[in-house]
Amino acid sequence: MENLIRKVSTAYYGWYVIAALFFTIFIGVGVRGSYGVFVKTWEDEFGASVTLISVAASLGWLMNGASQPIFGNLTDRYGGRPVIILSMIPMGLGAIAMAFVTNAYMLIFMYGFVISFFSGGIMFSTGGPVVAAWFRAKRGTAMSILAAGGSVGGLILVPFAAYLLIQFSWQTAWVVMGVIMLALGVPLLILVLKSRPEDMGLQQDGYTAPRDVFATPPQEALSGPLATDRWQDSYSSAPMWQLSMAYVVCGITTASISVHYVRWAVDQDISAGKAAIAFGLLMGINAIGVLTIGYLSDKMPRKTLLGIVYLIRSLAFLSFLVLPAGVALWAFAIIGGASWLATVPLTTSLTADVYGVKALGTLSGLINLAHQLGGAGAVLAFGIVFDRFDTYDPAFFGGFLTLLAAGVISLSINERKYSGRYMKPGDTVLQPIEGD
């Protein structure tokens, strides 16, 4: 019996899946995060305003958000492997096609629609459900490694894109990023990625025995009162709205910085290269922060950590308003880096804990849609504010206030009542009153 219930102690294939998804998120976040490096160049080359260049980025966030529930639903139906692979290919081709863009309107089409739509298929709404299918006991840790891929993508690809821009051209930068996707990303996914542990003859967390002899009860017996296989049901309960509202703010504050951080620095007489290095530092610090948060989230209430992350990020936005630009550049990188993508494993894991994994792809897509809607509005609003007032300060103040609100909303989630993490074998699962 002991042999039947033991886990595979070494080389659990789920960690190989995590490695492949790590690289996928590395590409997705890194390529989209590099957009801000080119804003000033496109302004000059296309003769366009910051607002018009922001339209392409804003539409990109909108299209990315709109596509994520679609790709998430396809993941629930067919598994993450085909969805992610078939999204990476057109995204890579779209990145190469960026080299042939000659005006702002072509930029809006190629980046705002093509690249951004298909990037939704390689992001957290498809990768998250795959991770949740492979892991339960270490779900927070596994999710944090996935999110760290985005941090490392920003750490490496954003400064790399700036280097290619300075040494060669912005067209070269996009061709190189597209080739990385097609020549490295696609083969890796084909060879390694599997949608579920059952595809390898395994069970969740590396068990090899049938679930009826597990020492740990099967997942269904540990589900919380809101677990569902119909995504529509989630909107009759408070946690879905709380997670979504907070994630809107996450979108507002990450999208605006990814597009306007370098542009703000240039306006403060800081070089684009130096700003890109600072943004890379932000993502590097975040890689450490997100792994730490993921580890802690398997031992502490996730909603508490989520609230703290938002409040820390609010201090980063405050630094723009109270510190000299040269100091704020690095202060934001350090403080913001401690919180940047840490919201991702916490939000996705909380969603899985509360609502289960059967509709997690769709639910993750819908929450990410809220995130991207906030980002789309913020990217455009920041551009308008800058063109009108010749400063980003009012927009930064707005980001500070919304982050305070997101922190309070996250802390108010009743995780202990609704999360399957706190269910014990033999507990009677009672359906809560609607809207409770």
Concatenating the DSSP letter of every residue in 242-293 gives: HHHHHHHHHHHHHHHHHHHHHHHHHHTT--HHHHHHHHHHHHHHHHHHHHHH
pTM surpassing 0.75? no
d(CA 15, CA 142): 8
Q: Which two tokens stand for residue 80?
A: 């993450």
Query: What is the band of 413 on the pLDDT scale with cuts at 50, 70, 90?
Result: very high
Q: Which of 252, 249, 248, 255 is nearest to 370 (CA)?
A: 248
Q: Residue-wise over 119-128: b if at least 16 C-beta within 10 A, else e?
A: bbbbbbbbbb
Average pLDDT, the chain: 85
Pick left, alpha or beta for residue 435 (phi over 0 → left; psi -120 to 50 → alpha; otherwise beta). Answer: left
Q: What does the pLDDT look like over 374-392, one tens digit per residue?
A: 988 898 899 889 989 989 9
Q: What does the pLDDT look like over 261-318, one tens digit per residue?
A: 988 998 899 988 888 888 888 888 888 888 888 888 888 899 999 999 999 999 999 9
Q: Which of 141, 65, 79, 25 is nearest to 357 (CA)?
A: 79
Torsion of CA 136, 138, 143, 144, to 10 degrees: 170
d(CA 345, CA 25): 13
d(CA 139, CA 125): 15
Residue 207, strand partner residues: 7
Q: Is the pLDDT of residue 65 over 70?
A: yes
Q: For helices 360-389 and 50-78, what crossing angle results, to 10°?
A: 180
Domains with residue ranges and CATH for the chain? 9-196+217-422 (1.20.1250.20)
Please enumerate in sequence order all residues whose Cβ is within 8 A of that of 44, keeping only pairs 6 or more positions apart, or say none.
Answer: none
**Residue 207, SS3 per DSSP:** strand
